[in-house]
Structure 1
Amino acid sequence: MSLPEKAFPVSWDQFHRDARALAWRLAGTNGRWRAIVCITRGGLVPAAVIARELGIRLIETVCVASYHDYTEQGELKVLKEIAPPLLERDGEDVLIVDDLTDTGKTAAIVRAMMPKAHFATVYAKPRGRPLVDTFITEVSQDTWIYFPWDMGFSYQRPIADEQVG
Structure 2
Amino acid sequence: MSDHQLPHEKGFHVSWDQLHRDSRALAWRLDGKGPDAGAWRAIVAITRGGMAPAMIIARELDVRVVDTISVKSYDHQSQSDAVVLKAPDPAIIGDGAGVLVIDDLVDSGKTLEVVRALYPKAHFATVYAKPKGEPMVDTFITGVSQDTWIFFPWDMALQYVEPYRGKD
Q: Same fold (TM over 0.5)?
A: yes
Question: Is residue 53 from structure 1 mapped to residue 60 from structure 2 by the alignment?
Answer: yes
Q: TM-score, normalised by structure 1?
A: 0.88
Aligned partners of 2:76, 2:59: CA distance in 1, in Å? 34
Which shifted more, 138-147 or 3-12?
Answer: 3-12
Question: Is residue 24 from structure 1 mapped to residue 28 from structure 2 by the alignment?
Answer: yes
Which amino acid in structure 1 is aligned with residue 84 of structure 2?
Answer: V
- Cα deviation code 1:133-162 (max 9, x no counterpart): 00000000000000001101123456x659
Q: How does 1:91-130 map onto structure 2 within 5 Å?
A: 91-130=96-135
Which ranges in structure 2 are unaligned for 5 or more consecutive residues?
A: none
Aligned partners of 1:53, 1:67: CA distance in 2, in Å? 29
Question: Is residue 142 from structure 1 mapped to residue 147 from structure 2 by the alignment?
Answer: yes
Residue equivalent to 2:82: 76
Aligned partners of 2:82, 2:67: CA distance in 1, in Å? 20
- Cα deviation code 1:7-61 (max 9, x no counterpart): 1000111110000000010115354211000000000000000000000000010
Which shifted more, 78-87 or 136-145?
Answer: 78-87
Which shifted more, 136-145 or 58-67?
Answer: 58-67
Q: Is the CA contact 2:81–2:110 (under 8 Å) kept in the aligned structure 1?
A: no
Indicate the SS of the match to 1:75.
strand
Aligned partners of 1:124, 1:161: CA distance in 2, in Å? 32
Indicate the SS of the match to 1:14.
helix
Task: Give the root-mean-square deviation of aligned CA atoms.
Answer: 1.9
Q: Which has the higher helix share?
A: 1
Q: Is the CA contact 1:37–1:61 (under 8 Å) kept in the aligned structure 2?
A: yes
Paired residues in the alignment total: 158
Aligned partners of 2:40, 2:162: CA distance in 1, in Å? 43
CA pair 133-62 structure 1, distance change in 2 beyond 3 A = same
